[in-house]
Amino acid sequence: MLIIRSSTTGKKGERKFRIVVKEKRSQRDGKAIETLGWYEKGKNGKKEINRKRYDYWISQGAVSTPAIEKLL
């Protein structure tokens, strides 16, 4: 089963998150099938998501986590 979820990057106190497609049973920061975008928590709340690829993976049966759905 494929899932669209976030994966952490960056150093402590300056976390950034990648939005990735991966197997449900794989580790949070393990190898991803595809990276769809990124976002930063905090005041700025910057984000960039490839919406076409997101829609493609949803049409292929991938399930998005509630946190990612909230971002969109």
DSSP, collapsed to helix, strand or coil, labels residue 2 as strand
At 52-72, the pLDDT tens digits run 999 999 999 999 999 999 988
Say how far apart CA 32 and CA 28 lie, in whole Å.
Answer: 9
At 9-43, the pLDDT tens digits run 888 888 889 999 999 888 877 889 999 999 988 76
Instruction: Give the position of tokens 């829609």.
Output: 55
How do the domains of the chain map onto residue ranges?
2-71
Give the CATH fold of the 2-71 domain: S16 Ribosomal Protein; Chain: A; (3.30.1320)
Say how far apart CA 13 and CA 59 lie, in whole Å.
Answer: 36
Structure tokens at 9: 């990057």
- pTM: predicted TM-score of the whole model, two decimal places: 0.85
Say how far apart CA 62 and CA 55 lie, in whole Å.
Answer: 10
Structure tokens at 48: 């960039």
